[in-house]
Amino acid sequence: MTDVIHLLPDHVANQIAAGEVVQRPASVIKELLENSIDAGAGQIKVIIKEAGKTLIQVIDDGKGMSLTDARLCFERHATSKIHAAEDLFSLKTKGFRGEALASIAAIAHVELKSRQEDDEVGTCIKIEGSEVTSQEPVVTPVGTSICVKNLFYNIPARRNFLKSDSVETRHIIDEFQRVALAHPAIQFSLFHNGSEMFQLPGSNYRQRIVNIFGGKTNEKLVPVEEDTEIVKIHGFVGKPEFAKRSRGEQFFFVNDRFIKSPYLNHAVVAAFEGLLKDKAYPSYFLYLEVDPKSIDINIHPTKTEIKFDDEHALYSILRSSIKHSLGQFNVAPVLDFERDHTFDTPYELNKKEVTAPKIEVDRSFNPFKENSGGSRGSSSGYRKENTGGSWESLYSGLQQKESGASSSELQHVEFESDEVTGNLFGSSAEKETGNTTFQLNKKYIVSTLKSGILVIDQHRAHTRILYEELLKSITVTAAVSQQLLFPLMLQFNSQEMSLLKESKESLEHTGFVFSKFGKNSVEITGIPTLISESEVAILLEQLLSDLENEVPESSFSQADVLAKSLAKGMAVKSGTVLNNLEQQNILNSLFACKESTLTPYNKPVFITLTVDELDKKFM
């Protein structure tokens, strides 16, 4: 019998490893940025073309590599970070496995230029599919420059699975922001297709957050500080009134490494208990410093998930420290029913001297002495002069009018009375036409059918109606907009701004009018007729959240997501009182839709109860 087990060739093994480490262009940028940080870089520049599919270049001013290191760094499991298994439990660097560059070189064309400070010339190495094609000395500045071209050129199936340029760019921005937030002292810059997307100078943590997410973020941040034997916490949480409907601005960093932890996220949400609106998520930028021996970061290929020794203690410390910060900065409401605010001293009386009150008494006052006018209890200085009028004068002439009223005038007096209809649920005309509707629990519209009862969810029905109207407006005709008296200025981060620019044309078809697009702001001069000015910010925030989660590929699917999101935000909510005319309008418009049974999210719009089903209830 022949042997069936054999060793894989190195290039195949590298391609398999690349499948775990390099999932998309953003994975390459993450690995290269972490290598630059480990090299002690003070400035890092990232250049990408076509969302990283054509070119990814990372340039740093770190300590560079020697000729031997430049060749060895592309070998599997070649690393300068660990020497023994025990070193895995005392890691303070980003990369340590030695898989990143070997995996990248297996699936792309890679060009490395690097020079150390003591060397006169640097080294240039070109690799294609794990094979070194050239190696030569080159004049280059101190540091390292790595170009990754034609990603997945030798694995067409993986390349076909990549999303559109806009989607891949958003993933790249996510990874770039995570690394930049963890290292505010390093200067970062990002260029895409020749245009600058980010230029982040070296700063502190707060300034780095503001530089990435916009100037308005500064007023939303509440600092968090806690130092214990188990963990040292510092960072910021967002004020509850600025909570968003998406989880975009939620960042955990453990020893300057971005991580994802649903358990710690629950601790943050628990600290905000009672302060957030329904389906709102708090923003947070929290940096945790723990003993490297108490965590295991080698449980996931991308190192975004780690394991803690004592998660329960960490949970309690994190929740209490955030609660303390919210209370310390008067963000959390304090209820003190025994306090009387009337006793509070006004600020303007703070420096005023305290003087004893003076009481003036009229010692000649005699309550039992009658004055000349016959009124009791009055004395000189306190007696009101008789103005010649009395309360009886207010009713003078009233008796005359009453006595002069004729019986003929009284016959024309009309009195309000309840009309006796003779039935309980409306007129017989309404019964004959079958248009009788009423609202149940401010949520459902109930109408009659020949075969029974129709119960409609008013929010879902209106969502379906608006969805079809908006989809028609986006794809066929433009909707009418209402002009604002004063332009509305809204602030967004760079990623949200890019999504808005992509959706600008479709939004204009729905009724929005944009007068100006800035770097982190947009000016709106017109809005759809179905919404109010106060709802615009909430509606656009929900729309951006839906666009990020749905990640539409084509223009039609983007229009579909846009129509869904706007319809959901603009539809009449449960708990809204509707008059009979509005109920009839929703009923008629719903059954004029192409699809009246389901919402755009494939949920039922109405149910029917037949007479037979009702009869069974009474058996």
Residue 419: pLDDT above 60? Answer: no
- Cα 558 to Cα 552: distance, rounded to the nearest angstrom: 5
Q: What is the pLDDT of residue 348?
A: 67
> Taking each helix axis from N to C terminus, what angle separates 165-182 and 205-213, rounded to the nearest 10 degrees?
160
**Apex 508 CA angle, 502 and 509, nearest 5:** 110
CA distance 157 to 145: 29
Q: Which of 472, 464, 436, 458 is nearest to 597 (CA)?
A: 464
Q: Examine the pLDDT at 304 and tell me if it is beyond 60.
A: yes
Residue 280 tokens read as: 């709102």
The confidence score (pLDDT) of residue 235 equals 94
Question: How many other CB atoms sit within 10 Å of the CB of residue 599?
Answer: 21
More confident residue, 518 or 333: 518
pLDDT value at residue 275: 84
Predicted pLDDT of residue 374:
46
Distance CA 287, CA 418 (A): 69
Length of the chain, in residues: 619
CB 478 within 8 A of CB 484: no
Place of tokens 């003929």: 408
Cβ-based neighbours of 574, under 8 Å, separated by 6 or more: 442, 443, 457, 458, 459
pLDDT at 57: 95
Q: What is the pLDDT of residues 363-417, one digit of tens each?
A: 888 878 765 444 444 444 444 445 445 566 666 565 555 555 555 555 555 555 5
Task: Inform me whether the pLDDT recorded for 234 exceeds 90.
Answer: yes
Beta strands across the sheet bearing 284-289: 221-227, 232-238, 284-289, 250-254, 257-259
**Predicted pLDDT at 225:** 93
Q: What is the DSSP letter of 347?
A: G
Residue predicted with more confidence, 379 or 215: 215
User: In sequence order, which ranges of 329-444 are alpha helices (DSSP H)?
Assistant: 398-404, 407-411, 428-433
Residues 6+ apart with CB under 8 A from 149: 54, 55, 56, 108, 109, 110, 111
- Which is more confidently placed, 240 or 300? 240
Distance from C-alpha of 571 to C-alpha of 610, rounded to nearest angstrom: 28
> pLDDT at position 208, please?
93
Q: Return the structure tokens found at 303.
A: 């190192």
Does the pLDDT value for residue 301 go beyond 90? no
Residue whose structure tokens are 């703070």: 350
Structure confidence at residue 570 (pLDDT): 86
Residue 593 has pLDDT above 50, yes or no: yes
| Domain architecture of the chain: domains with CATH | 10-200 (3.30.565.10), 205-328 (3.30.230.10), 439-606 (3.30.1370.100)
For 172, residues 6+ apart whose C-beta sits below 8 A from its C-beta are: 25, 26, 29, 48, 51, 52, 192
Structure tokens at 311: 């998660």
Report the SS3 class of residue 224. Answer: strand
- Range of lowest pLDDT (46-55, 128-137, 181-190): 128-137
pLDDT confidence tier of residue 539, bands split at 50, 70 and 90: confident
- For 192, the 3-state DSSP assignment is strand
The per-residue pLDDT for 340 is 59
Instruction: Looking at 306-351, list the stretches that DSSP marks H as alpha helix, in order from N- to C-terminal side.
Output: 311-328
Flag the least confident range among 242-246, 423-427, 555-559.
423-427
- pLDDT for residue 323 is more than 80: yes
Mean pLDDT over all residues of the chain?
80
Taking every pair of C-alpha atoms in the chain, what is the biggest distance, in angstroms? Answer: 139
pLDDT tier, 479 (very low <50, low <70, confident <90, very high otherwise): confident
- One-letter amino acid for residue 202 of the chain: G
Q: Answer yes or no: are the C-beta atoms of 524 and 534 closer than 8 Å.
A: no
Greater confidence (118 vs 550) lies with 118
pLDDT given at position 14:
65
Q: What is the pLDDT of residue 43?
A: 94
Q: Give the count of alpha carbons within 13 A of 190, CB side only.
A: 23
How far is it, in rounded angstroms, from Cα 576 to Cα 443? 7
pLDDT digits (tens, 9 = 90+) for 62-115: 999 988 888 888 887 666 665 555 555 556 666 555 578 888 888 899 999 999
pLDDT in tens, 28-46: 999 899 889 988 899 999 9
Per-residue pLDDT at 350 exceeds 90:
no
Per-residue pLDDT band for 424 (boundaries 50, 70, 90) equals very low
